[in-house]
Amino acid sequence: MHLDFGTGDGAFALRRARSEPSTLVIGVDASAEGLREPSRKAAGKPARGGLANVLFGLLPLERAPGELVGLVDALTVLLPWGSLLRAVALPEAEGLARLRGLCKPGASLQVVFGYGPGDPLAVQALPGLQGEVRAAGLVQAYAAAGFEVTARSVGREEVGELPTTWAKKLAYSNNEREFVALTGVTR
Ligand SMILES: C[S@@+](CC[C@H](N)C(=O)[O-])C[C@H]1O[C@@H](n2cnc3c(N)ncnc32)[C@H](O)[C@@H]1O
Protein backbone atom coordinates (compact mmCIF):
# COMPACT_ATOMS: atom_id res chain seq x y z
CA MET A 1 0.00 0.00 0.00
CA HIS A 2 1.26 3.47 -0.92
CA LEU A 3 0.32 6.28 1.48
CA ASP A 4 0.57 9.91 0.39
CA PHE A 5 0.60 11.93 3.61
CA GLY A 6 -0.59 15.56 3.30
CA THR A 7 -2.09 14.72 -0.09
CA GLY A 8 -3.86 18.08 -0.53
CA ASP A 9 -6.07 17.78 -3.62
CA GLY A 10 -5.03 14.14 -4.12
CA ALA A 11 -3.59 14.68 -7.63
CA PHE A 12 -0.45 12.68 -6.86
CA ALA A 13 -2.40 9.77 -5.31
CA LEU A 14 -4.80 9.62 -8.28
CA ARG A 15 -1.94 9.61 -10.76
CA ARG A 16 -0.06 6.94 -8.85
CA ALA A 17 -3.16 4.75 -8.62
CA ARG A 18 -3.75 5.12 -12.35
CA SER A 19 -0.17 4.17 -13.24
CA GLU A 20 -0.06 1.24 -10.78
CA PRO A 21 -3.43 -0.51 -10.92
CA SER A 22 -2.25 -3.34 -8.66
CA THR A 23 -1.21 -0.98 -5.83
CA LEU A 24 -3.69 0.36 -3.29
CA VAL A 25 -2.99 4.08 -2.91
CA ILE A 26 -4.33 6.05 0.06
CA GLY A 27 -4.15 9.84 0.29
CA VAL A 28 -4.61 11.40 3.74
CA ASP A 29 -4.63 14.98 4.93
CA ALA A 30 -5.51 17.07 7.97
CA SER A 31 -8.03 18.98 5.88
CA ALA A 32 -11.15 17.37 4.39
CA GLU A 33 -11.70 20.19 1.93
CA GLY A 34 -9.29 19.03 -0.77
CA LEU A 35 -10.30 15.38 -0.41
CA ARG A 36 -13.92 15.69 -1.60
CA GLU A 37 -13.21 16.13 -5.32
CA PRO A 38 -10.63 13.32 -5.67
CA SER A 39 -12.89 11.01 -3.62
CA ARG A 40 -15.81 11.81 -5.93
CA LYS A 41 -13.65 11.30 -9.00
CA ALA A 42 -12.26 7.97 -7.78
CA ALA A 43 -15.76 6.68 -7.00
CA GLY A 44 -16.99 7.45 -10.53
CA LYS A 45 -17.18 5.17 -13.56
CA PRO A 46 -13.79 4.08 -14.99
CA ALA A 47 -14.58 5.93 -18.22
CA ARG A 48 -14.85 9.13 -16.18
CA GLY A 49 -11.62 8.67 -14.26
CA GLY A 50 -12.98 6.30 -11.60
CA LEU A 51 -10.39 4.10 -9.89
CA ALA A 52 -10.95 1.08 -7.66
CA ASN A 53 -7.50 1.22 -6.06
CA VAL A 54 -7.44 4.67 -4.44
CA LEU A 55 -8.96 5.95 -1.19
CA PHE A 56 -8.84 9.28 0.62
CA GLY A 57 -9.23 9.96 4.32
CA LEU A 58 -8.83 12.52 7.04
CA LEU A 59 -5.72 11.84 9.12
CA PRO A 60 -3.77 14.65 10.77
CA LEU A 61 -0.21 13.71 11.63
CA GLU A 62 -1.09 14.35 15.26
CA ARG A 63 -3.46 11.33 15.16
CA ALA A 64 -1.27 9.03 13.05
CA PRO A 65 -0.67 6.17 12.69
CA GLY A 66 -4.20 5.27 13.88
CA GLU A 67 -5.74 2.37 11.96
CA LEU A 68 -2.97 2.46 9.37
CA VAL A 69 -0.35 1.31 11.86
CA GLY A 70 2.29 -0.86 10.18
CA LEU A 71 0.45 -1.14 6.84
CA VAL A 72 2.45 1.09 4.50
CA ASP A 73 4.93 -0.17 1.87
CA ALA A 74 5.67 3.25 0.36
CA LEU A 75 5.23 6.61 2.09
CA THR A 76 5.38 10.01 0.40
CA VAL A 77 5.25 13.43 2.07
CA LEU A 78 5.41 16.02 -0.70
CA LEU A 79 5.67 19.75 -0.16
CA PRO A 80 3.93 19.83 3.21
CA TRP A 81 3.20 22.95 5.20
CA GLY A 82 2.26 23.67 8.82
CA SER A 83 2.89 21.06 11.48
CA LEU A 84 3.62 18.37 8.88
CA LEU A 85 6.39 20.53 7.43
CA ARG A 86 7.85 21.14 10.87
CA ALA A 87 7.80 17.42 11.64
CA VAL A 88 9.73 16.41 8.51
CA ALA A 89 11.99 19.46 8.17
CA LEU A 90 13.14 20.43 11.66
CA PRO A 91 12.69 17.42 12.14
CA GLU A 92 10.55 16.61 15.19
CA ALA A 93 11.05 13.22 16.85
CA GLU A 94 7.36 12.77 17.70
CA GLY A 95 6.17 13.47 14.17
CA LEU A 96 8.80 11.16 12.66
CA ALA A 97 7.80 8.43 15.12
CA ARG A 98 4.19 8.81 13.98
CA LEU A 99 5.24 8.49 10.34
CA ARG A 100 7.45 5.50 11.15
CA GLY A 101 4.50 3.89 12.95
CA LEU A 102 2.61 3.80 9.66
CA CYS A 103 5.30 1.81 7.84
CA LYS A 104 6.28 -1.81 7.46
CA PRO A 105 9.98 -2.65 7.89
CA GLY A 106 11.68 -2.01 4.54
CA ALA A 107 9.03 0.49 3.40
CA SER A 108 10.25 3.24 1.08
CA LEU A 109 10.13 6.90 2.07
CA GLN A 110 10.18 10.00 -0.14
CA VAL A 111 9.96 13.43 1.48
CA VAL A 112 10.33 16.70 -0.42
CA PHE A 113 9.95 19.99 1.42
CA GLY A 114 10.68 23.63 0.72
CA TYR A 115 10.99 26.83 2.73
CA GLY A 116 11.71 30.48 2.09
CA PRO A 117 14.43 32.55 3.75
CA GLY A 118 11.90 34.45 5.88
CA ASP A 119 10.04 31.37 7.14
CA PRO A 120 10.21 30.86 10.91
CA LEU A 121 11.12 27.29 10.03
CA ALA A 122 14.27 28.36 8.22
CA VAL A 123 15.39 30.33 11.25
CA GLN A 124 14.65 27.51 13.69
CA ALA A 125 16.01 24.69 11.60
CA LEU A 126 18.94 26.20 9.87
CA PRO A 127 20.68 28.77 12.01
CA GLY A 128 23.57 29.50 9.70
CA LEU A 129 24.28 25.91 8.81
CA GLN A 130 25.68 24.95 5.44
CA GLY A 131 23.79 22.45 3.30
CA GLU A 132 26.02 19.46 4.01
CA VAL A 133 25.90 19.90 7.77
CA ARG A 134 22.14 20.32 7.63
CA ALA A 135 21.79 17.17 5.50
CA ALA A 136 23.91 15.19 7.97
CA GLY A 137 21.71 16.41 10.85
CA LEU A 138 18.57 15.33 9.01
CA VAL A 139 20.01 11.91 8.20
CA GLN A 140 20.91 11.39 11.86
CA ALA A 141 17.52 12.46 13.17
CA TYR A 142 15.71 10.23 10.67
CA ALA A 143 18.00 7.32 11.64
CA ALA A 144 17.02 7.79 15.29
CA ALA A 145 13.37 7.51 14.20
CA GLY A 146 13.99 4.28 12.25
CA PHE A 147 14.47 5.64 8.71
CA GLU A 148 17.66 5.16 6.67
CA VAL A 149 17.69 8.13 4.32
CA THR A 150 19.88 10.26 2.14
CA ALA A 151 19.26 14.01 2.05
CA ARG A 152 20.08 16.48 -0.71
CA SER A 153 19.13 19.92 -1.96
CA VAL A 154 16.97 19.90 -5.06
CA GLY A 155 16.47 22.58 -7.68
CA ARG A 156 13.22 24.09 -8.89
CA GLU A 157 13.31 22.14 -12.15
CA GLU A 158 13.30 18.83 -10.29
CA VAL A 159 10.54 20.00 -7.93
CA GLY A 160 8.51 21.14 -10.96
CA GLU A 161 8.66 17.60 -12.34
CA LEU A 162 6.95 16.12 -9.28
CA PRO A 163 3.41 15.24 -10.31
CA THR A 164 1.64 17.22 -7.57
CA THR A 165 -0.38 20.42 -7.69
CA TRP A 166 1.83 22.33 -5.25
CA ALA A 167 5.04 21.26 -6.97
CA LYS A 168 4.01 23.30 -9.99
CA LYS A 169 2.90 26.28 -7.88
CA LEU A 170 6.09 26.40 -5.81
CA ALA A 171 8.55 25.60 -8.58
CA TYR A 172 7.27 28.42 -10.78
CA SER A 173 6.65 31.06 -8.09
CA ASN A 174 9.04 34.02 -7.96
CA ASN A 175 9.61 33.67 -4.22
CA GLU A 176 13.05 32.62 -3.12
CA ARG A 177 12.81 29.07 -1.82
CA GLU A 178 15.10 26.17 -1.03
CA PHE A 179 14.03 22.57 -1.48
CA VAL A 180 15.29 19.41 0.21
CA ALA A 181 14.61 15.79 -0.77
CA LEU A 182 14.98 12.80 1.52
CA THR A 183 14.72 9.28 0.19
CA GLY A 184 15.25 5.98 1.92
CA VAL A 185 13.71 3.01 3.68
CA THR A 186 12.53 2.03 7.13
CA ARG A 187 14.63 -0.32 9.19
C1 LIG B 1 1.19 22.71 0.13
S2 LIG B 1 0.00 21.45 0.41
C3 LIG B 1 0.71 20.10 -0.55
C4 LIG B 1 -0.33 19.13 -1.01
C5 LIG B 1 0.19 18.04 -1.97
N6 LIG B 1 1.12 17.14 -1.30
C7 LIG B 1 0.83 18.67 -3.18
O8 LIG B 1 2.07 18.59 -3.30
O9 LIG B 1 0.09 19.22 -4.01
C10 LIG B 1 0.38 20.94 2.10
C11 LIG B 1 -0.63 19.96 2.70
O12 LIG B 1 -0.14 19.54 3.99
C13 LIG B 1 -1.30 19.28 4.77
N14 LIG B 1 -0.95 19.25 6.20
C15 LIG B 1 -0.41 20.25 6.94
N16 LIG B 1 -0.27 19.85 8.22
C17 LIG B 1 -0.73 18.57 8.28
C18 LIG B 1 -0.83 17.62 9.32
N19 LIG B 1 -0.45 17.90 10.58
N20 LIG B 1 -1.33 16.41 9.04
C21 LIG B 1 -1.71 16.09 7.77
N22 LIG B 1 -1.65 16.95 6.74
C23 LIG B 1 -1.16 18.18 6.99
C24 LIG B 1 -2.20 20.46 4.42
O25 LIG B 1 -3.55 20.25 4.82
C26 LIG B 1 -2.01 20.56 2.92
O27 LIG B 1 -2.98 19.83 2.20
pLDDT tens-digit series, residues 100-159: 999 999 999 999 999 887 776 765 655 444 667 778 889 999 999 999 999 998 999 999
C-beta separation of 80 from 131 below 8 A: no
81 lines ligand 1 (CB under 6 A): yes
Q: What are the angstrom distances between the C-alpha of 107 and each of 70, 76, 187?
A: 10, 11, 8
Residue 101 in 3-state DSSP?
A: helix
C-beta separation of 5 from 28 below 8 A: yes
| Pocket mutation for ligand 1, best pick of 4, 81, 85, 165 (most atoms within 8 Å of C-beta) | 81
Residues 147, 107: Cα–Cα separation, whole Å: 9
Q: Exposed, middle or buried by CB within 10 Å (0-12, 13-18, 19+), for 122? A: middle
pLDDT tens-digit series, residues 168-177: 999 988 888 8
Query: Hey, whose CA ends up nearest to atom 27 of ligand 1?
Result: 8
Residues 120, 65: Cα–Cα separation, whole Å: 27
| Pocket mutation for ligand 1, best pick of 165, 166, 172, 177 (most atoms within 8 Å of C-beta) | 166
Angle at 170 between CA 167 and CA 175, to 5 degrees: 165
Q: Which pLDDT score is estimated for 127?
A: 44
Residue 178 pLDDT grade (very low, low, confident, very high; cuts 50, 70, 90): confident
pLDDT tens-digit series, residues 19-32: 999 999 999 999 99
* More confident of the two residues 128 and 12: 12
Q: Which pLDDT score is estimated for 118?
A: 72
Average pLDDT on 51-76 reads: 98
Helices (H) and strands (E) in the chain, counts: 8, 7
Query: Hey, whose CA ends up nearest to atom 4 of ligand 1?
Result: 8
159 lines ligand 1 (CB under 6 A): no
Average pLDDT on 86-100 reads: 96
CA of 56 to the centre of ligand 1 (A): 13
Average pLDDT on 56-70 reads: 98
Average pLDDT on 40-44 reads: 94
pLDDT tens-digit series, residues 47-60: 888 999 999 999 99
CA of 84 to the centre of ligand 1 (A): 7
CA of 183 to the centre of ligand 1 (A): 19
Query: Hey, whose CA ends up nearest to atom 20 of ligand 1?
Result: 60
Alpha helix stretches (DSSP H) within 27-172: 36-43, 82-89, 93-102, 120-125, 131-144, 156-160, 165-171
DSSP string for 78-92: ES--HHHHHHHHTT-
Average pLDDT on 75-95 reads: 95
CA of 9 to the centre of ligand 1 (A): 9
CA of 154 to the centre of ligand 1 (A): 20
- DSSP classification of residue 56: E
Q: Which pLDDT score is estimated for 122?
A: 64
C-beta separation of 90 from 54 below 8 A: no
Beta bridge partners of residue 112, listed in sequence order: 78, 181
